[in-house]
Amino acid sequence: MPMIGARSDMTKPQGTRGDAGRHSIIPALACPARPGVPEPPARRRMIDRSTPRVRLMRKGRSTILPGARAGCRLTTTVTRRTRGRMKEATAAFQCADIPWNESQRLRALRRYGLLDADPEVRFDRLTSLTSRLLNTPIALVSLVDANRQFFMSRQGLEAHETSRDLAFCAHAIHGDGIFEIPDATQDPRFAGNPLVVGPPHIRYYIGKPLVDREGFRLGTLCAIDLTARPPLDADGRAILTDLAAAVVDLIEMRQTALEAETERQRTQRLMEVKEAYLATMAHELRTPLNAVTGFGQLLKMTGADDCLSDKQREYLNMIVESGEYLTMLVGETLDAEAREAGPGAMRSEPVPLAPALAGAARLLAPLAVKRDVTLSVDAPQDLCVWGDPLRLRQVLINLVSNAVKYNRAGGSVTLRAAMGGEEGDKVTIQCRDSGVGIPAREIPNLFRAFHRVPETSEDVEGTGLGLRITRRLVRMMGGAIQVQSREGEGSTFTVTLDRAAPD
């Protein structure tokens, strides 16, 4: 690889990614290009025939040059003598092979978002601890990228990265065990490495691969000494292994935190969409309901109902009552959803059951007539439960509505309330129909959102949300709901609530 020369005033140091403080160590002589791996940014030849000095410049990045003291910048020059010494030595070092799963490994590495990340104190503490425990001047958390190794954390070294061709860590990631070089000058793979021949004059290296939960080797936790050393003893190796595991744990925790933050932001966006939707629904639903209720009340207030028959007057009263109920229900539901209502948002007061059951049956009487289904109510006048009157009414309407819709012509629906529990402290409300029944295999799925029984729902409109909402409301009132059914005989839904004393 040719050296590139230029006058000292021909170029200006440049940082990358807006970080002028970052610099790297790059090779004086590089290994041949690796198949399938992108080449690093192009190098340019710039010759000043009036001076014998040579400068190595990598486009778009400030650098530290082999043969220069640590911390030198792009203005550092390399003499012909130094260049010649490096050129002779470089013949005696070799680049690491490319792992067989390199493309998947690089995808895993980049998924963690660690490359070019800002320093983090928690990683720096581990490299500092590694340096102290292993008694080495340099310790690194090194991540092996396609054409470089990036130092996510470093102790005793100014550089942020170096070429992968020079990286000891590129050799270390070929196994899961510890990779150790007691004396780099005596190892044919590294004796001529510019980082051995020149600054920082590496002699001793030991690294433990950082293996993620999917088995990919992202890089290493390594320790470096500038003097040769005997192989590390078993205790030292155990320390390095434990510290490397701690680094991997931090990487995984960091990723989990990033994913949690991403999910939080996604949830926040969904909440904003939901709020906008609820605001629209509140307007779109309340406007026509208010019109229905308002015109019905206007007919009654102006005496227009005087010319109606008793039956027609009953229908008008039902229109007004239903409109008022739906207006209240829509408002309460939308408001509760908007504030993510929990159990604390429910009212809890004694609710007389006889009028509650009769009211639900009265609202659904037209539907029962249309379906040729008989509706009956059986509830003691003095029986009360603890609950929210509006939500209990919604539960009853949902149950009776289903019982009517899924019934057969000439069938019946019975709404019954009675005391229950061993001490009479509970009340059971049963909605029993003589419909087609529910297959046993479908009963466990009845309360799932959007689930509808295929055999019984072909001719019945619905969303599959009614029973799910019903169970949620019953639970919010401190109760429970159960279902019993036989195909061809009908179904019985039983709601159990706490009994309350009458007011």
- Whether 63 has a pLDDT exceeding 70, the answer reads no
Q: Could you tell me the pLDDT band of residue 466, with boundaries at 50, 70 and 90?
A: confident
Angle in degrees, 0-180, between the axes of helices 389-405 and 353-371, rounded to the nearest 10: 30
**Does residue 24 sit in helix, strand or coil?**
strand
Q: For the residues 61-77, what does the mean pLDDT come to?
A: 36
CATH class of the domain defined by 346-500 = alpha beta
Q: Which CATH code fits 24-232? A: 3.30.450.40
pTM of the model: 0.48
- Whether 37 has a pLDDT exceeding 80, the answer reads no
pLDDT digit string (tens) for 285-343? 766 777 777 777 777 767 666 777 888 877 888 888 777 777 766 766 665 555 554 44
- Whether 470 has a pLDDT exceeding 70, the answer reads yes
- The pLDDT > 90 percentage for the chain reads 42
If phi > 0 it is left, if psi is from -120 to 50 it is alpha, else beta; for residue 145 that is beta
Residue pair 60/16 in contact (Cβ under 8 Å)? The answer is yes
Contacts of 440 (CB under 8 A, 6+ apart): 485, 487
**What does the block give as tokens for 146?**
């396609």
What does the domain layout of the chain look like in residue ranges?
24-232, 346-500
Helix then strand then coil, % of the chain, to nearest 5: 40, 20, 40
- Whether 35 has a pLDDT exceeding 60, the answer reads no
C-beta neighbour count of 267 within 10 angstroms: 10
Q: For the residues 158-178, what does the mean pLDDT come to?
A: 93
Residue pair 138/25 in contact (Cβ under 8 Å)? The answer is no
Q: How far is CA 119 from CA 67, 126, 163, 371, in A?
A: 27, 12, 20, 72
pLDDT digit string (tens) for 416-427? 999 887 777 899
C-beta neighbour count of 388 within 10 angstroms: 19
- Whether 118 has a pLDDT exceeding 70, the answer reads yes
d(CA 5, CA 24): 19
* One-character DSSP codes across 386-420: EE-HHHHHHHHHHHHHHHHHTS-TT-EEEEEEEEE
